[in-house]
């Protein structure tokens, strides 16, 4: 029974978790809008979702415990935990200091991603209501 | 949880932009100081940002790597009555470019605001997540 509930909610749950990870990437881009030589990064969401759904049954890769902020996480910084590559954004108008963050693009994507996250939450909420209706009859 | 890490990332951005604003304030305040506590003429200060990994995943914050001083020569102003004037009557004034500082100030405050917006958006998303299933 629990496994079926899990299956019913898995797709939306995976999508939400990826949206949250993308939000973190975009927040990093915005925070580093003035950092010399920083390159803006993003993921291809459909590839990421495919990868995450394909790997969702398996436990995620083992991680080293980090007890201080300076410790290396042990994971590959160029991929998400499920192996999706984290790409670099193509610069339309690069800065002289080597920074490729376009603040407008990032803010746009950030708001878009936040809205899609909330849409995902609404969908999960509706799914839970449906399941509850089925349970209560 | 990635969304919680946004607070750290945006917070590091706010703190770094705050330090940049601090340097700008110091430069503007000292734009006319012909001497400083070191006995030398005041030199314009500027912060250098650096990206720093934050959190278990791809989060990248900002920190101030160093504060550099503008090494361009001081502005020489002819003012023979000034007690700090040299033998030819010139006083060394700071190499602060006020227009540059104002631009820097606006840029820093805009970036600060953007980071605050980022943090607020993450907070809204987390709060909405908490109401899931109600």
B125 contact residues in A (CB cutoff 8 A)? 20, 23, 114, 117-118
Contact B3, B48 (CB under 8 A): no
Q: How far is A80 from A38, CA to CA, in rounded Å?
A: 19
How far apart, in whole angstroms, are the C-alpha atoms of residue A123 and residue A48? 20
Taking CB atoms and an 8 Å cutoff, what residues of chain A touch B129? 121
* Cβ <8 Å between A30 and B1: no
Give the pLDDT of residue B134: 78
Please tell me the predicted confidence (pLDDT) of residue A73: 60
Tens of pLDDT, residues A19-50: 999 999 999 999 999 999 999 999 999 988 99
Q: pLDDT digit string (tens) for A88-107?
A: 988 888 888 899 999 899 99
3-state secondary structure chain A: CHHHHHHHHHHHHHHHHHHHHHHHHHHHHHHCCCCCCCCCEECCHHHHHHHHHHHCCCCCCCCCCCCCCCCCCCCCCCECCCCCECEECCCCCCCCCCCCCCHHHHHHHHHHHHHHHHHHHHHHHHHHHHHHHHHHC
Q: Any idea which of A74-83, B7-16, B98-107 has the lowest mean pLDDT? A: A74-83
Band of pLDDT at residue A72, cut at 50, 70 and 90:
low
Q: pTM for this one?
A: 0.85
Which residues from A are below 8 Å from B6, CB to CB? 23-24, 27
CA distance A18 to chain B (A): 9
Contact with chain A for residue B64, Cβ under 8 A: no
pLDDT per residue as tens digits for the range A51-64: 888 876 555 555 66
pLDDT digits (tens, 9 = 90+) for B17-55: 999 999 999 999 999 888 877 878 899 999 999 999 887
CB A74 within 8 A of CB A63: yes
In angstroms, the CA A58 to CA A51 distance is: 12
With beta carbons under 8 A apart, name residues in chain B contacting A76: none
Instruction: Give the ranges where B1-134 is alpha helix by DSSP (H).
Output: 2-29, 98-130
This complex has an ipTM of 0.86
Calculate the CA A124 to chain-centre distance: 17
- Helix orientation angle between A103-136 and B98-130, rounded to the nearest 10 degrees: 10
Burial B67-79 (b: 16+ CB within 10 A, else e): eeebeeebeeeee
Place of tokens 């999706």: A84
The whole-chain average pLDDT of chain B stands at: 91
What pLDDT is stored for residue A107 in this prediction?
93
- The residues, any chain, with a CB within 8 Å of residue B1's CB and separated by 6 or more, are A20
pLDDT exceeds cutoff 70 at A1? no
Residue of A nearest to B60 (CA): A28
């Amino acid at each position: 029974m629990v496994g079926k509930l899990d299956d019913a909610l898995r797709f939306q749950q995976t999508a939400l978790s990826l949206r949250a990870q993308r939000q973190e990437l975009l927040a990093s881009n915005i925070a580093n809008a003035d950092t010399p030589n920083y390159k803006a990064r993003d993921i291809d969401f459909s590839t990421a979702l495919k990868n995450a759904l394909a790997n969702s049954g398996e436990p995620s890769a083992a991680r080293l415990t980090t007890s201080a902020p300076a410790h290396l996480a042990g994971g590959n910084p160029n991929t998400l935990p499920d192996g999706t590559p984290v790409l670099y954004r193509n610069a339309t108008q690069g800065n002289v200091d080597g920074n490729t963050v376009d603040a407008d693009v990032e803010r746009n994507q950030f708001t878009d991603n936040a809205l899609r996250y909330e849409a995902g939450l609404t969908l999960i909420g509706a799914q839970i209501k449906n399941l509850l209706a089925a349970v209560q009859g | 949880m990635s969304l919680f890490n946004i607070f750290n990332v945006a917070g590091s951005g706010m703190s770094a932009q705050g330090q940049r604003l601090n340097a700008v304030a110091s430069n503007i305040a000292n734009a006319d100081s012909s001497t400083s506590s070191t006995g030398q003429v005041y030199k314009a200060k500027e912060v250098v940002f650096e990206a720093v990994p934050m959190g278990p995943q791809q989060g990248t914050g900002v920190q101030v790597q160093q504060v550099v001083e503008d090494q361009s020569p001081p502005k020489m102003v002819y003012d023979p009555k000034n007690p700090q004037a040299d033998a030819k009557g010139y006083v060394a004034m700071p190499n602060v470019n006020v227009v540059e500082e104002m631009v820097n100030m606006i840029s820093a405050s805009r970036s600060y605001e953007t980071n605050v917006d980022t943090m607020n958006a993450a907070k809204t998303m987390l709060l909405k997540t908490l109401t899931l299933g109600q």
